[in-house]
Amino acid sequence: MLGSLDVLPAELLVLVLRFLDSEDLKRTLSISKTWYEYAVPIASERVALPLWRKIPRPQQKTPKSRRRHCIEDYVTHLTMLLFPLAMSDEDLINQPKTINEIVAWLCKDILPSCRRLTTINMTEAPANLEYYPYRGLPDGAIQRSTISLFQVQALMQTMNKIPSLSTVHIDMSCPRLSILEQPGIGNNADWCADLVPLMQHLDHVELRMPYVCSQIFSLYQEQFSAQATPPKGPISIVINCSMASKDPRWMNEAQSWDCKPLRALLKTPVLADTMINAARACLPYFPRIQRLRIIHHNMPLHKIIAHDIIDGENYEVPENDWTASGQMIEELSGNESEEEDLTSLSTDDEIQDTLDDPDS
């Protein structure tokens, strides 16, 4: 049946192809030359790259390097998958430098060559529910891989140079990943300064990553005022101050308060109120803004709260879909002062110290 479809007019063939799942479509590329010609651009629009596997060898555009050719010419939505929590410690230990090398390869060889790239999504890989990784966790730490803060900065700077890019969703809240601080990056302001250009030039920015603080808004405001031609600014900004995992079993155990290493990672790295106030003060400097949200954990209630700066309301959103609209909450309840130690400012080193000391 599929073989007979390639005789359809080009317009109809493209419509048919768009109804097929991209993975299923990739398995049919050898049907015919005509089919391949029309199917490859559609099958290659969405690409997911696990950041813990071996780096593809740099190759010229030959039939043997067809995957790279398709990424550079056709990809519009690129997903970079971080380590899933359900991953053995041995896999992390055996290749501790892989993620740095792969991100460097992306920044140098791949991203600058992508001609149609509009969306970049970096997030923890979906959980493998058949593998249970918590053996011995209540009495020990989670094995983590590290990525250099310089390398993350290079990734942000590379994204800012992609003219076709309009949307970034960067979620680096991953229990298996730690961002390694570097000499020469003095404080959070240095780090946030590399994120400000994304908010100046892109339409949609969604961030959950360590070291992002309220200065991302104050620096944006300063640069906006200093430019002769103010930037167009984003249409939507969502910044998540919480820490979590896509593995639902992790959240269940962490919220039970029985597992200290997991519970420690639920600490909010920045004060949500400080972020909310800074975002509110910056609102006049976003001429196109339609959605501006700060998301954080409401620890006594174990809820994920999205505070909408535009309408001033609070919404409960799903842990693994925190950019969703969510359900409006009439009033936040619970004595948050009792959990002040879990929402106060805490650095990545402090979190790691807690992981290393199960009695803390």
Per-residue pLDDT reduced to its tens digit, 131-185 = 665 554 444 466 778 888 888 889 999 999 999 999 999 998 887 888 876 655 5
Distances (CA, A) of 248 to 68, 130, 148, 196: 34, 13, 28, 32
The residue with greater pLDDT, 326 or 303, is 326
pLDDT of res. 8: 61
Decide if 110 contacts 158 (C-beta within 8 A).
no
Greatest alpha-carbon pair distance for the chain in Å reads 69
Identify the pLDDT of residue 350.
44
DSSP-assigned beta bridge partners for residue 246: none
Whose tokens are 């990784």? That residue is 133
Report d(CA 27, CA 290) in Å as an integer.
41
| 261 vs 176: CA distance, rounded Å | 12
Predicted local confidence at residue 169, as pLDDT: 96
Any idea which residue has 């001033």 for tokens?
312
Q: Average of pLDDT values for 78-103?
A: 79
- Output the six-digit token pair for 258: 């029985």
**Residues 6 or more apart in contact with residue 124 via CB below 8 angstroms:** 81, 82, 83, 84, 85, 171, 173, 174, 176, 245, 246
The pair of three-digit structure tokens given for residue 171, joined into one six-digit string = 């979620």
pLDDT score of 77: 93
Q: What's the number of CA atoms in the CB half-sphere (13 Å) around residue 46?
A: 8
List CB contacts of 239: < 8 A, sequence separation 6 or more.
206, 207, 208, 212, 216, 275, 279, 293, 294, 295
Model-level pTM?
Answer: 0.80
Query: Residue 335 gets which letter from DSSP?
Result: -
Q: Percent of the chain at pLDDT above 90?
A: 29
- Encode pLDDT of 329-339 as tens digits: 876 654 443 33
Q: Report how far apart the first and last C-alpha atoms of the chain are (Å, whole number).
A: 63
**269 in Cβ contact with 294 (< 8 Å):** no
User: Over 70: is that where the pLDDT of 20 sits?
Assistant: no
**SS3 (DSSP) at 3:** helix
226-to-221, 222, 230, 318, 332 alpha-carbon distances in Å: 9, 6, 8, 38, 39
Token pair for 281: 């003060």
Residue of 292, 109, 309, 304 whose CA lies nearest to 204 = 292
Question: Which tokens in the block code for residue 108?
Answer: 């140098």
Could you tell me if 264 and 299 are in contact, meaning their C-beta atoms sit under 8 angstroms apart?
A: no
Higher pLDDT, 49 or 4: 49
Reduce the DSSP state of residue 260 to 3 states and report it.
Answer: helix
- Lookup: tokens for 186: 């003095």
Give the closest residue to 123 by CA, choosing from 84, 180, 166, 66: 84
Q: Tell me which of 29 and 76 has the higher pLDDT.
A: 76
